[in-house]
Amino acid sequence: MTKAKTNVISFLCVGAAFILVFSSCSFTDRVRKRPDTPEDNIRHHLNAGKKHYENGHYDKAEREFMRVLEYNPRDRDVRYMLGVIYSRQGQIEKGRSEFTEVIAIDENYAKAYYNLAALYANEGPFRNVDKASILFKRYLELDQTSMYREKIERWLEKYDSQGNAIQKLNQGRPSEQPENKDFKKWLKEQSEKINE
């Protein structure tokens, strides 16, 4: 081999070694940054989900939040965020299901009552003024300083003047929930009372 070819080969070998060393360092760094424990995984997926949600990438946020639920299916905050995502995507039934699940996990989670009530209050196939009224009332009991208080009270007054909301609301107040605190069962009973 000529000296020029030897120099080129030596240069390429040194360059390849240089690339391997530095690429393996960055690979090692990336491996170290990967979550090591379930808590790290949860935190990683939760943060990624929040970031995707803030950027309006709801499908990606949903995927990350679902990964969190693999570790903790009763995470009320993640279920609440899924309810919001589904509602914004027009998946009302899924949103309703998530908000109901949040309330079953934590009967004092005010925002879930508000959002579930809003789904029932809006025009459309799922509209149920009586259920919305019950849920809005419970929300106001839980959040005494709500910035939405006046708006909700006006909404309740409007439907009270039509004889729809307050009269039936007083028949089954959320404060009368049974001791077992099975919200889904209680909500079904209240719905049946309203439909009688």
Structural domains of the chain, with CATH: 36-106 (1.25.40.10), 114-196 (no CATH)
SS3 sequence of the chain: CCHHHHHHHHHHHHHHHHHHHHHHHHHHHHHHHCCCCHHHHHHHHHHHHHHHHHCCCHHHHHHHHHHHHHHCCCCHHHHHHHHHHHHHCCCHHHHHHHHHHHHHHCCCCHHHHHHHHHHHHCCCCCCCHHHHHHHHHHHHHHCCCCCCHHHHHHHHHHHHHCCCCHHHHCCCCHHHCCCCCCHHHHHHHHHHHHHC
Whether the predicted model's global pTM rises above the 0.95 cut: no
pLDDT tens figures, 17-28: 445 444 544 444
Determine what percent of the chain is predicted with pLDDT higher than 90.
55
pLDDT tens figures, 49-69: 999 999 999 999 999 999 999
Answer with the residue of higher pLDDT: 149 or 182.
149
